Structure 1
């Protein structure tokens, strides 16, 4: 059966997350319904990242198998036509015929996330549901310095959801940078894989540093505590974006 890689973007606001769930409106289900409308096949897609409710994607990747060998452009355009017809906030950017052994989740070598904070007194109009609005001033430089305490291989139990199903809390965080551009603070995070709620948990903790309530030493102590109770309040989902997924060259 021909296998296709789909590169996808979506507005996560109306969805329960990526993963199909009974009685819930998910991104995966929206795509699978569109495929069924296109070619009549019932497929089960696998995505590179199981984004939570309200989380967006500019570079999600999924794969699916079809019985017929369609041109990639046909697959993309047909799925998008059915997504548009259903009023979905999802778009397939590219559909590419790929090797049978390609797996959107398990072949990935890195995942890159962006978290956007709108840091100004006025509430958002254009950025509503696209960024975390924080009206109190934040020190982005202090946040960046504190973020260095989290880079590397650590036990991230403190920054892991109690519902996380990963077998181990050990992860290697390759990058965690914070920078400001005007009223916008961007937090970029890169790793081979992340724990459930890890990025949002780290951002929520870095916000405490930006407020002046915590120091970099407090972040280090929270990490070393290996205790979920040591984490600051988790950042909301609307600021988080799955930007890119890396794979070995083909």
Structure 2
């Protein structure tokens, strides 16, 4: 069975998240990103001998986008040969395009079983796009920003106050208050490290759209090795509530110093999913190089064989 590292991007507003929602591995779930990719893998020629195994580096909720997510897949072919990475890449993208999925595979690398998409990741970077009306009550947002940005509708929003508060989250913290309630049996480690959290002026997707002039755009960038469920959206929600004057810095400090699901401030609303992007998952390039399979062409189905079919 061959293992491959996939890098891929997607627009998440039409999917119920990255991960499959059904437990049966033999059931396709094309309403999620994983299910759509698994469905595409089943179109490989020669046909797979096994249901594809899909292990993502990071899970994203419904509506969350990704510019550069990663996963490793395990697939088995006939004759004990590996699928050529060019074949996998082109077959997946051809199927995704044919089915009108908003998913694109960027890269396919054959790797050893020692490389794990989730455990080998060194850091993950998220971007949250905010759109603040220059005039309160102006909700005539540019159409191209729909499901790509979150509108801040608070009057007298103080972005400088939100910027100053980013330092409260940096470093090792217990983010239990900023995590969704765990409904599963798996134990969650809530102590996580945020290495970088910034708010910088952003830009509209289409600067020539006349409606874009009515808004200020801000990019909230958050980087860390790993995150708990809903952590970034709750942090952004807290920063927006602070900038709007709905909470104080002391309120946020209390949520951090007394971590509890019951300590979430009700005056804070978690930021919506549609403004959040997983920008990239970072790996050690040397580790990828070390675990990349250096193959002879005879161990792979030649890509030309697939292209002729």
TM over 0.5: yes
Name the SS of the counterpart of 2:12 in structure 1: coil
Contact 1:16/1:24 (CA < 8 Å) preserved in 2?
no
Aligned residues: 250
For structure 2, the 5+ residue unaligned runs are 23-28, 204-215, 288-309
Distance 1:123 1:100 in 2: 48
Name the SS of the counterpart of 1:168 in structure 2: coil
Q: What's the TM-score once normalised by structure 2's chain length?
A: 0.76
Q: Which residue of 2 aligns with 1:138?
A: 157
Please tell me whether residue 203 in structure 1 is matched to residue 236 in structure 2: yes
1:75 Cα offset (Å):
1.1
Distance 2:30 2:245 in 1: 40
Distance 1:36 1:24 in 2: 12
1:185 Cα offset (Å):
1.1
Distance 1:181 1:192 in 2: 24
Q: Which residue of 2 aligns with 1:174?
A: 195
The counterpart of 1:82, out of the listed 95, 104, 108, is 95
Distance 2:42 2:282 in 1: 28
Q: Which residue of 1 aligns with 2:104?
A: 91
For structure 1, the 5+ residue unaligned runs are none
Distance 1:17 1:217 in 2: 34
Structure with greater Cα Rg: 2
Q: CA RMSD in A?
A: 1.7
Please tell me whether residue 239 in structure 1 is matched to residue 248 in structure 2: no
The counterpart of 1:36, out of the listed 42, 55, 63, is 42
Bigger shift: residues 5-14 or 213-222 = 213-222
Q: Which residue of 2 aligns with 1:25?
A: 31
Deviation per residue, 1:215-243 (Å, 9 max, x gap): 33322122112133424211110011111
Q: Which residue of 1 aligns with 2:217?
A: 184
Deviation per residue, 1:172-201 (Å, 9 max, x gap): 111111122362111111111100000001
